[in-house]
Every structure is written in C-alpha cells, then in structure tokens.
Structure 1
C-alpha cells in the first residue's frame, strides 16, 4: 500500500501495551493515516511485543506501521517501514539491510541533511522541530525559514514534526508538506479520536485554501 503521510502519529513510550493499542485504534478511526512506534527505553523484547500487537491492529485498518530506530524489529514484525535519526545506522547502510519494499524515513534539520537523505534513497524525511516541543528532549527548534528551504530542495515527501497543535497548524506552509507528525497532541488527548479528527479537518481546510 502506498503510504499516506497526511496525519502521522508518533507514539509515546509511557503508555502500557493495552492503553497504547486503545489510543492508536481511536486515533486511526479519527483519521490518522500512518503510525510510528517510538520506544527509546524499552527492552528489545517489550518493543517487539508492542510492535507485533500494533502491527496486527493496524493491518486491520490498512494503516502502515513504521518502527523507530530498530531495523531488526521492523523486519521481524514485517512493518511497512523504519525511521532513523542522524546518529543511528547510516541511511545507505540501512537501505542495504531492509527489504526493497520497506519505507525508510530519516529525521533532518538542515538543507544539507535533507539533500543527502534524498540522494541516499530515503523515501521521506521528518523535519523538525517546527515548534517548541516537550515530547523529545533533544529536539532543537528549526531556524525560521528552514522548513520552507528544505521543501524547495527535495522532491521526496516532507513530514513536519515538533510541537504541532491544531491551533498552530495554519502557521506552517501547506505547500510541499506531505504530512504532519503528532505526538502528545493525540497520544495525551482526553479523546484521541476527536483529537485526530480535528487535526484532519484542519489539515484539509489548509490544503483546500492553498
């Protein structure tokens, strides 16, 4: 299935397995189009168990699962893709390991990193942080104009991430943005379904105006 990056949910590690599955299912019903499982502290076994259960759930809704960092787990559960950072295994090496059908995304924060990512075969790039965020401790705010500069230099899909809320979405350029990655705006919402629905409606309004 061709990935739709429009509303890209990134999970939070603090959620127990059952709560994680409930939250993600509600969010998918509300309009989430792709899900990244991000686990920084979990053991490999727990990460694998979460990934396996999440993959089964998302398959039911035909929503792709992306695994953060762990290429071995992505392959083990037959995920749709893997997302790596600048300090992880180099993209060119990752592409040699994963099946040809697997999506490989990478986080970038400069034009140089974005251009290199495209040259090395990335399927999409995550660009951020576009706003201040508490979801990722090491996330640095992008300089003003950097997001637009990156979108002009690459032809692969660009996903904006970092501190995105319904009320600041309109501050981002709709042009050339393939999707918006949300963490706490959905994962910590009282109602993940309505949160996802609000994001989708706001994104759709922006696209229709551009």
Structure 2
C-alpha cells in the first residue's frame, strides 16, 4: 500500500545505509532507489542490500526508471517517468504482483496512468525544488483536482518540508516524497518521524498516542492526571509511566513517594512494546536515575519528546532532586525535541538570569546550544501580557495572550506541554502545535472554576470543548 512517507534516496551521501536505517526507524514506509552514477552490477548489488533493510523494517522498496533492475533485485515495484517504458510494457515484464508508479503533472496524465493500470501516481513538483532544475511547478490546487479525478494512491513530490506537509495531506496526498528534508537532516530518524506523524491527521478519533512520564497528583490538577485529561479531551490516547506518588491538594504537597527507576523503565517498556506512542511527554522525574532512564527510552524508540522540566510545585515543594538537575542537562536535553521551561526553570538549567523578553530569548538560545532541538520559554512569571518565546529551527517566535487575573493556575505547565505533545501526535507540525497549545492553556485558565482553598486547577474540559466547536466540520 502506497501510504505515508516516501523517501527518495540520495545515493551520493557517504553513509547511505546508516541514514536509511535511521529514516526507517523514524517511520519511512516507501523507499525509492534512484542512481545515475554507479555501474549496473554495483546498482544491482546495492539495491539488494537496500531492499533487505527496507523489508526488515516493513517498508516497500521501489526502483526508479529501470523495470529490469526491479526484477533482478526482487524490488516491490518500479517508478516510471513520462518518457520511460509504458505502464503496459512494464506490467508485462514485472507481472501482476509488483507495483508500478508513474510521474504525472496534469489531470489528463493522471487519468491515463490510472486507465493503463498504474498502482499509484506521483504528482509534482508541489513547490520549487533544488533537486531538479527542470521541475515544473504544479502546486496544491492541481493536487486537489487530481485527487478528485483518480482513485489510485497519489504521491506528492517536490520541495516538501515539514511545515508544508499538512496542507498536502489535507488536499488528498496519500504519500509525500522527500529527499534532502530527511536524508540530509542532522537526525534522519527524527526528521522522518516529523513527517510520519502528520499522516495521523487523517485517522479517526482517538488519534495520536501520547506517553506521559510524570508524577501522580492526588488532587487531580497537575501531573499524570492533568496530562491524561488533556490528551483524552483533545481526542488523543494517553498512556502513562508514573515516577512518583504525591499527596497534595490545592494548598500544596504533603508528601512524595518516588518509584524505583527500574519500575519506571518497566512501565515505559510495557507501553511502548505493545501500544506504542507517537510522542512522549515528561513532567516530574524526581531522581537522576529516572532522568537517565527516560533519556535512554527516548533515544531507543525515536520519539519526539516534549520535556517539561518540573522542578518546584506551586506551593514550593521540590519535585526534582538537585543531583537530577545535572542529569537533565547532560542526559535529557540532548534527547529533547521541545523543552518547555518557565522562567525559574530556564534560569536553573542554563545559568543565566531570565527576567525579561530579551533574556528569555538568550536563555532559549543557550538551552538549544545545550542540546534541546527546540525551546519554549514560558513567561508566566513576567508582568504584563502572557508572552512565551519559542525558538524553533533557529528562528524566534513570540506567542502572546492576555494575562488573566486568577489564582487558579495549578497544572498550567503540565497541561500546556501535554496539549503540545497531543497536537504533535495528531499531526500538527511544531509551530502549529505550540500555537494551538498556547490557545488551549489560555482558555483553560480563563474558564477555571475555583476548587479548593488554594491554587485551583485549570478547566481542561471547557478549553477542549471550545476547540472541538471551533474545528468541527
């Protein structure tokens, strides 16, 4: 089945097989081998090796342009251009079992390919691309038209980036073909995962699996309870690994009973080896042993991790041992997809004063240099509007919302991070996920109903209900 991330190999990279293995770990579903430089026998030998890697990962292996090579290396199919062998002749050579795809640019070409028995069509170029100087720009509107005209799977090709992927999937693409956006990325596994997750936007609810690793809040406003409420109300599926039990209410934490690190690992493994997860969200990790165990799990399973570096409870109780702070810096930050510290947490982690917007931006940059891929510094402790600073892909963004005068803010950090993790798992790219999370937590604070005598919880239900009303068909 042609569905999901379609990777066209860049055969000029020196570490070809290692990068392919990483991309497959990240969720690549189809791989196309295109090679114009190697002699035929070397192409055959390499194709056999690459096919084996793909099949071990459950991915399809497609040969570009050469049906005979596809036959010789026992590939799953061939992808043809308009000037190559016809679909009918390729079918005669390859037989009925192997897939045949063909590049198209127009509705007429797509209809012809379908009539001739092609199994899928490629359509492009969607956007300007540097990989083909002669690429004709087709665009998203043409994709809409082709999708309405044909029933066979449709692969969008050309100039596709993470932040452009969603509109193509929404327009009807069954698969997205990319080259450098994954294959030349610093981390091909994570780059592939960013694309792969966006196909979740088509799944029925509940969609998006989030594993939350955090402490339990007996009062229900923060921690695991806040995470699971958020993910569930937003239409995702939440699982958990509990790092500690706390006895607490709106007035503060009365006691903490940490879980052994090996039992936290056992919980994580039990979930990921069976149910799986699309994203991982962390909260209270408490000890350096738990921090290290979580870092290992993120690396092993190639999961985008939203890390909320919870250190101190609203009432002042310490939720992260001092020795664990260094473990967060050394072990967890390099595995972090998005770090979401408040101002005191940012100061503790990066060692810089963080008391205004300029210092928030400097702290975000410093935390990125320390290993976090993206950083969201939350400005809830500042005066004036509620302004957060997002450093993503080297660019600074400001997220603004009116400040709400309320004491009912228990669990805001947990809820905000859990919402972002859920939106990522449901197929929103990073910038959209953070923006949606900001809007969600703002509404949850704004509609909070007082519970207890201290810092009451935010209103997860109302914020989620308002989002569903806004996005209903």
Global fold match (TM > 0.5) = yes
- In the alignment, which residue of structure 2 is the partner of 1:48? 44
136-145 or 180-189: which moved more? 136-145
Supply the distance in 1 between the matched residues of 2:173 and 2:140 (Cα, whole angstroms).
16
Instruction: Give the number of the structure with larger relative contact order, counting CA–CA contacts within 8 Å between residues 6 or more apart.
Output: 1
Supply the distance in 1 between the matched residues of 2:129 and 2:62 (Cα, whole angstroms).
21
In the alignment, is residue 10 of structure 1 matched against residue 33 of structure 2?
no
- In the alignment, which residue of structure 1 is the partner of 2:57? 61
- 1:1-210 equivalences in 2 (<5 Å): 3-16=1-14, 19-143=15-139, 145-205=141-201
Supply the distance in 2 between the matched residues of 1:104 and 1:172 (Cα, whole angstroms).
22
CA contact (8 A) 2:26 2:190 kept: yes
**CA offset digits 1:144-164 (Å, max 9, x no partner):** 621111111000000101010
Secondary structure at 1:62 match in 2:
coil
Cα RMSD of the aligned pairs, angstroms, is 1.8
- How far 1:60 moved relative to its partner? 1.3
Secondary structure at 1:204 match in 2:
helix
TM-score by length of 2: 0.42
**CA offset digits 1:183-203 (Å, max 9, x no partner):** 110111111001001111233
204 and 115 in structure 1: CA distance in 2 versus 1, 3 angstrom threshold: same
5+ unaligned residues in a row in structure 1: which ranges? none
Supply the distance in 2 between the matched residues of 1:206 and 1:185 (Cα, whole angstroms).
22
CA contact (8 A) 1:30 1:195 kept: yes
Supply the distance in 2 between the matched residues of 1:97 and 1:201 (Cα, whole angstroms).
36
- How far 1:173 moved relative to its partner? 4.9
- How far 1:40 moved relative to its partner? 2.3
- How far 1:206 moved relative to its partner? 6.3
Q: Which one has the largest radius of gyration?
A: 2
5+ unaligned residues in a row in structure 2: which ranges? 204-425, 427-470
TM-score by length of 1: 0.92
Equivalenced residues, count? 206
- How far 1:5 moved relative to its partner? 2.1
Secondary structure at 1:23 match in 2:
helix
61 and 156 in structure 1: CA distance in 2 versus 1, 3 angstrom threshold: same
Supply the distance in 2 between the matched residues of 1:62 and 1:106 (Cα, whole angstroms).
23
36-45 or 185-194: which moved more? 36-45
- How far 1:138 moved relative to its partner? 2.5
CA contact (8 A) 1:170 1:206 kept: no
> Which portions of structure 1, spanning 4 or more consecutive aligned residues, are displaced by more than 6 angstroms?
none
134-143 or 118-127: which moved more? 134-143
**CA offset digits 1:39-87 (Å, max 9, x no partner):** 1233212211220110111121121100001111100111111000001
Supply the distance in 2 between the matched residues of 1:122 and 1:141 (Cα, whole angstroms).
23
174-183 or 62-71: which moved more? 174-183
CA contact (8 A) 2:157 2:176 kept: yes
Supply the distance in 2 between the matched residues of 1:182 and 1:164 (Cα, whole angstroms).
6
Secondary structure at 1:167 match in 2:
helix
Supply the distance in 2 between the matched residues of 1:175 and 1:167 (Cα, whole angstroms).
14
CA contact (8 A) 1:130 1:163 kept: yes
